[in-house]
Structure formats: C-alpha cells, structure tokens
Amino acid sequence: MWRDTTVRGPGVRAAPMRVPRPAAGRGGAGGPGASGGRAVAGRRCAILDRMKSDRLLSILLLLQTHGQVPASELARRLEVSVRTIFRDVEALSAAGVPVYTERGRNGGIRLLPGYRTDVSGLTADEARALFVLVTEQAHADLGLGRAIGSALRKVMAAVPAPFRGDADLASRRILIDPVRWRGTPRPSAVDLGVLQAAVFNDRRLRLRYRHGRDRQVRSYTLDPYGLVSKAGAWYLVADHRGRPMMFRSDRMLSASVVEEPVRRRGGVELADVWEALREGIDRIPASVRVVVRVRRSALARFLRYHEANLAVPAPALEDAEAGAGDDGGPVELELGFPALGAAEQLLAFGPAVEVVEPAELREALVRRARETISLYAPPDDAVR
C-alpha cells in the first residue's frame, strides 16, 4: 500500500512522493537459532536507522542553510546516491517536513519558504567538539572576543540536556593554543578590520608590503579570498593578477579597500588556495644535503627544531627524549636545507652538534664562530 505525500502550495510543482505503509500482521515462528538471528538483524537495523537519522538531519540543515539544493549536490556532500537522497526526502515529507522538489534545469530540493526548525539532535561527541575551545586571541584579533562567549552560551542552550555536562566539561578541560612559545607576532601597522572589510564585502584591496626574504617594499592590488590564522600569525590569502599569494599581517605597511568588485577565480575557495600555498612552502626543494652528529643528550631538543629538515627519519632511541648521557656516542642524521645560509643556524647548538659535511658549511660555521669570538674577546685575544 502507498500513500501520497505530495506537498502542495501556490506556485509549487512537485512530483508525488509515495511512502510504503507498514504491513500489518507480519510475523512467523522461529526455529532453532531464530532468536540469535533476530538479535543480529536488530543490531543491523539499529545501526542503519542511526545512519539514516543522521543523514536526514544533515539534509534538513543543508536545506535550511542554502535554500534550494540539487539532489546531485546533496548526494555528493553526504556520499550517497541520488536515489538514496530522493528516498530520504520522501521520509522527511512523511514525517511532516514541508520539503518538495522543483524540476527543470534550475530545479532542486527545498523547504517551503519560512519553514524553520530548532535542530538539537547533537550527539555527545558533537556537543563536546563544539566546546573544545581555541584561545580567544584569534577572535579578539577580529573584534569578536565578546561575540564568541555569547555564541557559545546560545549554542549550549540548544545542546540536548543529557550532553550539556559533557560539553561544559570539555570547555573547561581542553584548550587549544595555536601560538608558538615566545612566538607573538610583531604588531601590524594595518588594522585587521580593513582586511575583513575587503574579504566580507567582496572588494579588492590595495596593499604595501615588506617581503621577508629580500626586505623589499612592494605595492599590490589584490583579489582577497580570506584570512588565515596559523601559528599565532594572521595571513591574507589573495590573487595578484590571477596568481595566488599569501601576505603576513605583521609585514603589511598599509592597506585600503578599493571600491571595485573582487575578481576571484571561479569555483575556487579559500581552503583550496591556502592548501596549495601551504604545500608549496612545505615542498620547497632541500637542495643542500647536510650530515650532522648530534649528542644524545641534545637529540630531543635538536629534533624539536629540525625534525622538518630530516631527509631520513631519525633512529628510534629509547633514551632520546629522556636526555640520556653520551655513553652511546653521537647520533648521525641527514638533513636537507633550501640553501647553505639556512643551515648556518646549526651553529646555535654549539658543541652538541657537529657538521660532518658538506665542507663548505663547515668552513662557513668556522667563519661565523671566529666572528663571534672576535666580537666578545678582549682585543689582545681576538681570533685572527
């Protein structure tokens, strides 16, 4: 048996949705092992029901957020087939949700205008995830320091009552601070509010910027995608003449919004551009191969600074992080640096790290050491 669940209204053309009525009087006697089979089947049904209920809630949230959404887009986001999406829409309609489909090139699935619902179907893990807090500095930088507290209080009121205790506990027991130790960026001459204005109003941005590598000051007219906070520093991600670039806020000298519409590349989002830029930095060729010997007592500290430079994984040493003595002898490691000058920072470890090769780097470190001795030694003892 089938019943029609078509949603009708002024100007609405929707295909009938047929939902099967539950069959009455079905059952049967079980033989040996029937109870075990029914238990397994029951568990499977419970899992499937949970998966479906989560998916129905996701569909409802997407429709409330985006209005009309093509079935193919819903299927892509939820990683199911289009046929499954239509079955889920029928289930929502049968449950009284005023959802309907519009046919044609610009068609899709949508809710009746004005329909809203309070969705509080969060799971315990989802509730905890919402309240694992990042330090408030990032919000304060954007002028949202007070807003984050108010928003969390409102979200807490919507969390299902059984999970509020866990959510509150997560907010008090877990804190994520993305800023490095002693890594506070230098103050910027540019107000982040100017950058936000360009980003949120889809306007171009004129920027004067001092580059870190050559210290040159250059001017740009940019098409911004957005702002990214990484390791305590803010970055503007933007296109310059169609080429993606990133600009660190504490190197900005001035910025002003240009009253021209932004010219972003079609179909490209902030996350896509940032990922490409980040990978480009991570994959800078390490053209200089360096072999070092590191005392075991300094190995843990050395790896904290130079693990990213390892060309070959460091050997697993049980006593490395405990700061064991040097009885086992130094550990030989192979590193990679983009340039010889970048490897000169190894001198900061003093006698705890010896450069074995290349010879050019050893000579450069000897020069640096002599310059340092000459700076601090009395005139008569200066190294020539």
Does residue 359 surpass a pLDDT of 50?
Answer: yes
pLDDT tens figures, 97-115? 899 888 887 889 998 887 7
What is the model's pLDDT at position 148?
79
Which element (helix H / strand E) includes 300?
A: helix 296-306
In a domain, 43, yes or no: no
Does residue 45 surpass a pLDDT of 70?
Answer: no
What is the model's pLDDT at position 137?
73
The SS3 of residue 356 is: strand
DSSP for 47-94? HHHHHHHHHHHHHHHHHHHHSSB-HHHHHHHHTS-HHHHHHHHHHHHH
94 with 128, same domain: the answer is no
Does residue 8 surpass a pLDDT of 60?
Answer: no
In a domain, 367, yes or no: yes
What is the model's pLDDT at position 214?
77
In a domain, 263, yes or no: yes
Instruction: Kindly provide the residue ranges of all beta strands, DSSP E only, lying in 128-240, ordered along the sequence.
Output: 133-134, 175-176, 203-210, 217-230, 233-240
Q: Quick one: pLDDT band at residue 26, thresholds 50, 70, 90?
A: very low
Measuring CA to CA, which residue among 193, 292, 210 is closest to residue 248?
210
Backbone phi and psi for residue 247, each to the nearest 5 degrees, phi listed first:
-135, 120
Does residue 42 surpass a pLDDT of 70?
Answer: no
Q: Quick one: pLDDT band at residue 331, thresholds 50, 70, 90?
A: very high
Domain at 111, CATH number: 1.10.10.10
Rounded CA separation 202/263 (Å)? 9
115 with 6, same domain: the answer is yes
Q: From 176, 211, 244, give the residue that closes a domain.
A: 176
pLDDT tens figures, 229-280? 887 788 999 999 999 999 999 899 999 999 999 999 988 999 999 999 988 8
Q: Which domain holds residue 12?
A: 1-17+49-119
In a domain, 33, yes or no: no
Number of structural domains (the chain) is: 4
Backbone phi and psi for residue 203, each to the nearest 5 degrees, phi listed first:
-120, 155
Q: Which residues contact 3 (CB under 8 A, 6 or more apart)?
A: 18, 19, 21
Average confidence (pLDDT) over 357-377? 93
Q: Which residues contact 249 (CB under 8 A, 6 or more apart)?
A: 185, 188, 190, 192, 195, 233, 234, 235, 236
Whether the CB-CB separation of 223 and 266 falls below 8 Å is answered with: no
73 with 142, same domain: the answer is no
Mean pLDDT for all residues in the chain: 79
Q: Which residues contact 94 (CB under 8 A, 6 or more apart)?
A: 5, 17, 19
In a domain, 156, yes or no: yes
59 with 150, same domain: the answer is no
Q: How far is CA 298 from the centre of its chain?
A: 33
Average confidence (pLDDT) over 141-158? 78
166 with 243, same domain: the answer is no
In a domain, 220, yes or no: yes
For 130, other C-beta atoms within 10 Å of its C-beta total 17
pLDDT tens figures, 183-208? 666 667 788 899 999 999 999 999 99
pLDDT tens figures, 284-313? 777 899 999 999 989 988 988 888 888 888
Q: Quick one: pLDDT band at residue 17, thresholds 50, 70, 90?
A: very low
Does residue 123 surpass a pLDDT of 70?
Answer: yes
Does residue 317 surpass a pLDDT of 90?
Answer: no
